[in-house]
Amino acid sequence: MKRSTSWALPTAAAVWLVLGCSALSEQAAAGNAPNASDPSGNPPLAKGCAADSFQAPLQMLNEFELRNTLRDLLGEVAADVLIPTGARGVYRGALLIDQLPARWQDTAWQIAARAVQGVEALTGCDLANQNDECARVFIVGFGQRAYRRPLEAAEVEALLALYGSAKAEGFGAGIEMVLAAMLQHPSLLYRVEAGIADSVVGEPTLRRLGAYELAQRLSYNFWGSLPDQALFAAAAAGELDTPEGIRGQAERMLLDPRSTAMFADFVGQWLFTDHLGTIPKDATRHPSYTSEIPPLLKQELQLFVQTLARTGGDLNALFSADYGFLNAKLAAFYGVPGVFGAELAQTTLPPAAQRVGLLTFAGLLSIEGTVQGVSLSGASRTYPIGRGRFIRERLACEGVPPPIAKATTLAGVPEKIDALNLRFGGADNTPPRVFFEEVTSSNPVCKTCHTLLEPLGFVLERYGADGLPRQLDIDGTPVIAAGTYAASGSNSPELVGDYASPAELAMALAQSPGVKNCLTNHWLQYSLGRTLTETDQQCFGDAAAKARPVATTPLRDIYLDVVTSNIYRIRKFD
Amino acid sequence: MKSWYVNRRTFLRGAGGVTIGLPLLNAMLPGQVGAQAAQPIRRFLLWSENNGTVMDAWRPSGGVSSFTLGRLHKSLEPYRNQLLILSGLHNKSARDSKTNAAVHQGNAGIATGGYNSMGGVWGTEQQVMAPGTGMTNPTFYSIDQRLCQEPHYQGALAARFLSYQFGVQVSDVPATSARVNYKYTKTPAFVQDKSDNDNQIPQYEGTHVESNPQQAFKDLFGALATGQMTPGGSGTAEEQAAAAARQSQKRGSVLDYVKDSYSGLMLKVGTEDQRRLNEHLELIRKLELQVAAIPPAIANAASCMPPNGANLPSGRPCKEEEQGTLQGPNNVDGCTGDLFEPIGKAQMDLLTMAFSCDLVRVSTLQWSMAGNRVGFGHIGAGGATHHDLAHASDPKLEIIHTWYATMMAYMLEKLTSVVEPDGKTLLDKTGILWVNELSTGATHSKEDIPLMLLGGAAGALNPGRFLDFRGQDRSNTDLLLSLLHAYGIMEPNFGDIRGEALGWLQGPLDLG
């Protein structure tokens, strides 16, 4: 009852919105109630959970998923056919359907023509004794994988008819028709979900997803491709009708190497590491931060999160680990002796490296992007503003109002900036603490927000713009790695307070329910391919997930709690 | 009816999406020549650059017809009689959009007169925007997408492309900062406007913009290019034609199946999914029409010369953050300023031929996106990216915007070089709307934005003048409505439905 949580990610309007406590407590009560309506032990809908929260956009396969799907269906024949676009949205890309049918028709025929050059291997049918029955078997088996669900009898007949219309020209010609048709089918191009009618008591617009639809969600979430035989078998056997069954499959998929690409994708977006290396560091101040370093730092963070998730690591480990993932080049960058080879391997760092979990990875602290709001450092100086904002927004899901237009032209501000530039020799040489004292906290308009930012970022001042530990600030004075998490009408009041070191801040983050919820929230958004509103969190509704002690919650459970939750398994249809 | 000349070096597209040699298509050869004079083909081109400009150097001095071009536009001097320069208009609906510090969304309003709000749609906003700060799409479609709904503004490829949007390093993610074109539909999606009492506002989605000249070539000229003969390529012309007809028949049967699949599936899913699938189905129906249609014809024997696709550079969509590079030449990855010009020129060449061959009549050329950080070190405007120079009101901005004018001069030169059978140039028959969503980058000002119309639009425009609307509080939406009328579409309004009430739309401007 002490804590209120807003899952609203920052919008100008919702920044200061905080949910009342009553909804959460009702929800907890509902979560404990016996579930009379569902014999499989599925949790009921939480009170306060609105039907709209189960809306989910129809997902077309994005480029990554389409490539993987074609590869898993047909091998490499399609590898060079797709024109790379690199299209991706927030946590989820979509192929754009503009003009796509026109292009895709040509591409589908091209792929089909290539695939039937090896039609015997593809179908397992003996060309010498080609027969319609073998074609039927192929259509049924291949079709299930292509559409990620068993084909209906009428669908099999329609495809057989296409086969039949061309088989006079040869078995391959018949199969080519089938492939061209399947490749253009909406069930291949989209992740279609029809749900099970009347499956949510008292909510006519809501439906539970069917087993094959859930299998499809899971496989595209974790692997970016179609389900494997084991997952199809689990769907067929009814295993995915219960939370336990889903959990078991999801855990298997998380541990499977096929989830590695997902971790790279998710971590790159969640922690902004996709922006690493966008702008080179100042070669005078940070000569060791060469262009080879950022990709390695990005990979290190991916391996860190991925390894924790696969080996049972918890939030405590996430925020306190004293190790990294190094190869010879990265070890030289960190100044760690005795590491050889090109592969990144888990390595305990010496105390001098000052590694205290996620917050202290050079791959995080050195990020500079060209887009507003993603930079934690510049080319030659730290950005405590960006670091404070990162902790609040990315780790605690607390809104920070966006900068106001023309902030640098507010009365008195330009003069103060000019004076500092003169005193220190430009913005790149002005210590952030001085800038805060004399500019951003001295103007009442600026101060409102900047109190939330720099004092928090100052805790990490011990790490320079290259993310490595340092003793001196850019003006030669000793750095002070202490600061404050200021209250903000806050989603995570447990974080509010003074911190004398990065380790203290890390420990607070590890124990913060708000931080755990925020991580869950990011993963939910990645999984659902959409943003969440504050009411949506009511529907997450997993009492067990909420009951876990924060710091010892395994990262893996955060991933698994999401896929067994109602909001993942129920969809709105109207 | 149109009168079609056929270039004998050109292969025409036969039924069924395969190429067939000319001898089979005698039936396609010229129809009546006279009709063309009665209704000349009129084209429209939307030309978009971003980050504002240097207004003092942009604005002409002098009177309506006795004007002297601004410093940026020296390269346009030879074309001064083709310019209709419009000063003093405000990008009002974008200016008043509830997007606070998200200052780079002005693209969404510039050609739509639409408004956009906070509270975005996941997956459609720029990747790095904090969740929830994403913008909604604008509340209206763009003028080009309206024009190309009219049969008169549809070219021979209408079954595939009612319009074609060329990009130069434009992101594939249709963020509002990365799109000026928004699709026309009678049934837009509606979303809650979180910043306005949860009111339901319509949403028009951004179109695809093609940044790869090779793909654009394939899209537009693929059907005309030689060397695509399928299947086999051997045998007599008759045998090949028979094989092509058979292939066409197969494509038709498969399309029937695919169409039925969409219809069948739509019965099972929710209404929003139905809408998406139906949108896809409509595009497939167009394809089907094309299977049955006569081949696209070639408008002009002398000037329709499809370019050689093999010589085109490959470009690709670039994310904003990729464009913060100031590296010199030879960055093969394709998202640096030094490749801006070669890719842009290739797109302009393709665009000119797409107009000349009458494949499309409505098009767009979009240079990167709002807030872009293209590096211009290679033309002497280095040291910082375009965006950062704009923020600092750096003197180097003049170099960049002078360069943009030379690109427009190149476009005008290309369009002038094509002389149609009636003796008029393509430029005489094209109207270009040159937009920039901001006036001054440093302040993200959407007041008094730099706008220009170019070309004669087959009599619809009366260029060679400078119209100064400063002090009259008129808007880009007023201009869009004027343009719609000039193009013969006499609708009473354009832009957001509340435009008149909110002062964004007063009525058409007097463009003379």
B64 at interface of A, judged by CB pairs closer than 8 A: no
pLDDT band per the 50, 70, 90 thresholds, residue B334: low
Closest approach of B256 to chain A, Cα-based (Å): 9
B386 at interface of A, judged by CB pairs closer than 8 A: no
β-bridge partners, A60: A190
Chain B residues close to A103, C-beta within 8 Å: 219
Query: Across the interface, do A11 and B269 touch by the CB < 8 Å criterion?
Result: no
CB pairs under 8 A between A and B: 215
More confident residue, A231 or B423: A231
pLDDT band per the 50, 70, 90 thresholds, residue A161: very high
Q: How far apart are CA B152 and CA A433, in angstroms?
A: 64
Query: Is residue A212 over pLDDT 70?
Result: yes
Cβ–Cβ < 8 Å for A390, A272:
yes
pLDDT tens-digit readout, A472-488? 999 899 999 999 999 88
* Range A209-223 average pLDDT: 96
Closest approach of B101 to chain A, Cα-based (Å): 6
More confident residue, A8 or A79: A79
CB-nearest partner of A371 from B172, B219, B320: B320
What tokens were used for B224?
């005309």
What tokens were used for A311?
């080996």
Chain B: residue whose CA lies nearest to A159: B257
Sole residue written with tokens 């999606």: B189
Query: Is residue B10 over pLDDT 60?
Result: no
pLDDT band per the 50, 70, 90 thresholds, residue B8: very low
Residue of B257, B288, B360, B389 to mutate, interface with A, max A Cβ within 10 Å:
B257
Query: Is residue A19 over pLDDT 70?
Result: no
Least confident interval from B186-190, B197-201, B398-402: B197-201
Helices (H), A354-443: 362-365, 384-389, 413-424, 432-435
Q: How far apart are CA B107 and CA A294, in angstroms?
A: 33
Query: Is residue A163 over pLDDT 60?
Result: yes
* Range A283-305 average pLDDT: 96
Provide the 8-state DSSP code for A208: E
Which pLDDT score is estimated for B187?
78
What tokens were used for A491?
């989603």
Chain A residues close to B324, C-beta within 8 Å: 278-279, 369-370
Query: Across the interface, do A529 and B287 touch by the CB < 8 Å criterion?
Result: no
Percent of chain B exceeding pLDDT 70 equals 76
Count CB-CB contacts under 10 A for residue B510: 8
Query: Is residue B37 over pLDDT 90?
Result: no
Provide the 8-state DSSP code for B425: B
pLDDT band per the 50, 70, 90 thresholds, residue B23: very low
Closest approach of B121 to chain A, Cα-based (Å): 7
- Interface pTM, i.e. ipTM: 0.81
pLDDT band per the 50, 70, 90 thresholds, residue A302: very high
CB-nearest partner of B270 from A401, A402, A573: A573
User: How far is C-alpha A532 from the geometric centre of its chain's CA atoms?
Assistant: 13
* Residue numbers of B between 150 and 189 with CB closer than 8 Å to A: 160-161, 172-174, 183
Say whether B422 sits in a helix, a strand or coil.
coil
Cβ–Cβ < 8 Å for A323, A349:
yes
Closest approach of A482 to chain B, Cα-based (Å): 27
Q: How far apart are CA A48 and CA A50, in angstroms?
A: 6
* Range A163-171 average pLDDT: 94
Least confident interval from A6-10, A524-528, B106-110, B406-410: A6-10
B95 at interface of A, judged by CB pairs closer than 8 A: no
B117 at interface of A, judged by CB pairs closer than 8 A: no
Percent of chain B exceeding pLDDT 90 equals 43
Q: Which of A22-36, A445-459, B236-250, B297-311 has the highest mean pLDDT?
A: A445-459
pLDDT band per the 50, 70, 90 thresholds, residue B124: very low
Can you give the C-alpha Rg of chain B in angstroms? Answer: 23
C-alpha angle B460-B462-B465 in degrees, rounded to nearest 5: 150
Which pLDDT score is estimated for B220?
83
B276 at interface of A, judged by CB pairs closer than 8 A: yes
Chain B: residue whose CA lies nearest to A190: B277
Which pLDDT score is estimated for B509?
95
Chain B residues close to A193, C-beta within 8 Å: 269, 273
Q: What is the mean pLDDT of chain B?
A: 79
Chain A: residue whose CA lies nearest to B127: A90
What tokens were used for A204?
């006519």
Least confident interval from A42-51, A114-123, B144-153, B203-212: A42-51
Query: Is residue A295 over pLDDT 70?
Result: yes
Q: How far apart are the first and last CA of chain B?
A: 31
CB-nearest partner of A90 from B123, B212, B273: B123
Q: Which of A345-359, A531-545, B359-373 has the highest mean pLDDT?
A: A345-359
Chain A residues close to B287, C-beta within 8 Å: 101-102, 105
Contacts of B20 (CB under 8 A, 6+ apart): B11, B12, B13, B14, B240, B241, B244, B295
What tokens were used for B342?
């070669």
pLDDT band per the 50, 70, 90 thresholds, residue B194: low
Chain B residues close to A83, C-beta within 8 Å: 212, 215
Of B338, B378, B207, B352, nearest to A97 by C-alpha is B207
B131 at interface of A, judged by CB pairs closer than 8 A: yes
Query: Is residue B179 over pLDDT 70?
Result: yes
Which pLDDT score is estimated for A226?
97
Query: Is residue A435 over pLDDT 80?
Result: yes
pLDDT band per the 50, 70, 90 thresholds, residue A366: very high
Q: How far apart are CA A492 and CA A18, in angstroms?
A: 10
Count CB-CB contacts under 10 A for residue A36: 8
Q: How far apart are CA A554 and CA A510, in angstroms?
A: 11
Which pLDDT score is estimated for A107?
84
Beta strand B375-376 pairing with B381-385: antiparallel
Query: Is residue B357 over pLDDT 50?
Result: yes
Residue of A15, A59, A99, A374 to mutate, interface with B, max B Cβ within 10 Å:
A99
Amino acid at A210: G
pLDDT band per the 50, 70, 90 thresholds, residue A410: confident
B271 at interface of A, judged by CB pairs closer than 8 A: yes
Closest approach of B100 to chain A, Cα-based (Å): 7
pLDDT tens-digit readout, B424-476? 999 999 999 999 999 998 888 899 999 999 999 999 999 999 999 999 999 99
B83 membership: H or E segment, kind and range: strand B83-89
CB-nearest partner of A192 from B124, B265, B283: B265
Query: Across the interface, do B118 and A55 touch by the CB < 8 Å criterion?
Result: no
Say whether B137 sits in a helix, a strand or coil.
coil
B230 membership: H or E segment, kind and range: none
Cβ–Cβ < 8 Å for B291, B323:
no
Cβ–Cβ < 8 Å for B72, B58:
yes
Query: Across the interface, do A573 and B387 touch by the CB < 8 Å criterion?
Result: no
Cβ–Cβ < 8 Å for A550, A558:
no
* Range B296-301 average pLDDT: 41
Chain A residues close to B265, C-beta within 8 Å: 186-187, 192
pLDDT band per the 50, 70, 90 thresholds, residue A316: very high
Say whether A371 sits in a helix, a strand or coil.
coil
β-bridge partners, B135: B118
Provide the 8-state DSSP code for B395: T
Query: Is residue A466 over pLDDT 70?
Result: yes
pLDDT band per the 50, 70, 90 thresholds, residue A92: low
- pTM (whole model) above 0.90: no
Long-range pairs of B75-79 with CB within 8 A, sequence gap ≥ 24: B75/B402, B75/B405, B75/B406, B75/B408, B75/B409, B76/B405, B76/B408, B76/B409, B76/B412, B78/B409, B79/B409, B79/B412, B79/B416, B79/B454
CB-nearest partner of B443 from A399, A406, A529: A406
Q: How far apart are CA B427 and CA B439, in angstroms?
A: 26
Query: Across the interface, do B287 and A102 touch by the CB < 8 Å criterion?
Result: yes
* Range B389-397 average pLDDT: 91
* Range A50-68 average pLDDT: 84
Which pLDDT score is estimated for A529?
78
Count CB-CB contacts under 10 A for residue A332: 14
* Range A69-86 average pLDDT: 79
Percent of chain A exceeding pLDDT 90 equals 60
Percent of chain A exceeding pLDDT 70 equals 85
Chain B residues close to A402, C-beta within 8 Å: 100-102, 133
Query: Across the interface, do B133 and A187 touch by the CB < 8 Å criterion?
Result: no
Please write down the HEC assignment for all residues of A427-471: HHHCCHHHHHHHHHCCCHHHHHHHHHHHHHHHHHCCECCCCCECC
Beta strand A497-499 pairing with A483-485: antiparallel
A537 membership: H or E segment, kind and range: helix A536-540
pLDDT band per the 50, 70, 90 thresholds, residue B332: very low
Which pLDDT score is estimated for B297?
42
Q: How far apart are CA B103 and CA B444, in angstroms?
A: 6
Amino acid at B82: Q
Query: Is residue A119 over pLDDT 50?
Result: yes
Chain B: residue whose CA lies nearest to A166: B250
Residue of A61, A63, A85, A182 to mutate, interface with B, max B Cβ within 10 Å:
A85
Q: To the nearest 10°, the Cα dihedral for B77, B82, B85, B86?
A: -170
B305 at interface of A, judged by CB pairs closer than 8 A: no
Residue of A269, A276, A370, A400 to mutate, interface with B, max B Cβ within 10 Å:
A370
Closest approach of A349 to chain B, Cα-based (Å): 31
Contacts of A393 (CB under 8 A, 6+ apart): A9, A10, A373, A399, A400, B130
Query: Is residue A40 over pLDDT 70?
Result: no
Chain B: residue whose CA lies nearest to A106: B17
B22 at interface of A, judged by CB pairs closer than 8 A: no
Long-range pairs of B261-268 with CB within 8 A, sequence gap ≥ 24: B261/A185, B261/A186, B261/A187, B262/A186, B265/A186, B265/A187, B265/A192, B268/A194
CB-nearest partner of A9 from B131, B260, B273: B131
Residue of A520, A531, A570 to mutate, interface with B, max B Cβ within 10 Å:
A531
Beta strand B362-367 pairing with B43-49: parallel
Q: Which of A415-424, A514-523, B80-89 has the highest mean pLDDT?
A: B80-89
Query: Is residue B280 over pLDDT 90?
Result: no
Chain B: residue whose CA lies nearest to A93: B123
* Range A236-259 average pLDDT: 96
Say whether A123 sits in a helix, a strand or coil.
helix
pLDDT tens-digit readout, B60-119? 999 999 999 999 999 999 999 999 999 999 999 888 876 544 577 788 899 999 987 754
B96 at interface of A, judged by CB pairs closer than 8 A: no
Query: Is residue A538 over pLDDT 80?
Result: no
Say whether B122 sits in a helix, a strand or coil.
coil
Query: Is residue B217 over pLDDT 60?
Result: yes
* Range B205-214 average pLDDT: 87
Cis amide bond preceding B231, omega within 30: yes
Query: Across the interface, do B102 and A393 touch by the CB < 8 Å criterion?
Result: no
Chain A residues close to B321, C-beta within 8 Å: 274-275, 278, 369-371, 374
Closest approach of A478 to chain B, Cα-based (Å): 31
In angstroms, the Cα distances linking B137 to A14, A83, A346, B116, B182 are: 19, 27, 45, 6, 8
Q: How far apart are CA A48 and CA A215, in angstroms?
A: 28
More confident residue, B313 or A82: B313
Count CB-CB contacts under 10 A for residue A2: 7
Count CA atoms closer than 13 A to A424's CA, side-chain side.
20
Q: To the nearest 10°, the Cα dihedral for B360, B362, B363, B369?
A: -150
Count CB-CB contacts under 10 A for residue A386: 24
pLDDT band per the 50, 70, 90 thresholds, residue B132: very low
Of A513, A537, A397, nearest to A48 by C-alpha is A537
Q: What is the mean pLDDT of chain A?
A: 85
